[in-house]
Structure 1
Amino acid sequence: MAHNRKLISDQDFQEAMDRQFAIRVFQDDHVVDSGGTISRFDDQIVVVQSSLSELGYHSRKACEFFGMRKK
C-alpha cells in the first residue's frame, strides 16, 4: 500500500527526487500529472518526468504535490 505525503519544502522535494518517489500533481482540485518522478525543481517550477521523452512543468504556487512511497 502506498503512503501519500504532501511535498511543501525544498527538503521534501529533494528527498522525493533523490528517492525517485512517484509524484501526483493536483491543480484546482484535479489530477494533472501522476506517476512520474521529479527531475528538477526550483522556487517556481517543478519538472516531472513521466517517460523518457515526456516532461511536465508545474508551478509550485498553482499546484499541490504529493509523493507516493511504499510503506
Structure 2
Amino acid sequence: MANRKLITEQDFQEAMDRQVHVRVFQDDQIVDSGVVIIRFTDTFIVTQSGVSDVTYHDRKGCEFFEMRRR
C-alpha cells in the first residue's frame, strides 16, 4: 500500500467522492484507520467507519492519508 497525504480541498473532495479508505494521525499516532470521509470543512473532517460510527477530527490537529493499493 502507498499512502498519499490529503492536504488541499481538492484532495479531500476526491477522497470523499471516491470513498477511499483513509488513515488519520494525531500527535504521530493512528487515531482512525480504514474510514471514509463523509464531510469536511475548513475546521474539521468527518469520517465514518460504520452505519452509526461517525467521528469528527480537527483538521489542523490531525494528518490524513489516503490508503491506496499498489
Output the TM-score relative to the length of structure 1: 0.94
Q: How many residues are treated as equivalent by the alignment?
A: 70
**1:7-66 per-position Cα deviation (integer Å, ceiling 9, x unaligned):** 000000001011111010000011000001000001000000011110010011000000
Query: How far apart, in 2, do the equivalents of 1:3 and 1:16 lie?
Result: 14
SS at match of 2:16: helix
Query: How far apart, in 2, do the equivalents of 1:18 and 1:69 lie?
Result: 15
Moved over 4 A (4+): none
Query: How far apart, in 1, do the equivalents of 2:9 and 2:64 lie?
Result: 12
Query: How far apart, in 1, do the equivalents of 2:45 and 2:38 lie?
Result: 8
RMSD value over aligned CA atoms?
Answer: 0.7
Identity of aligned residues (%): 61
- Residue number in structure 2 paired with 1:46: 45
Instruction: Structure 1: give runs of 5+ residues left out of the alignment.
Output: none
Output the TM-score relative to the length of structure 2: 0.95
Query: How far apart, in 2, do the equivalents of 1:30 and 1:3 lie?
Result: 18
- Residue number in structure 2 paired with 1:58: 57
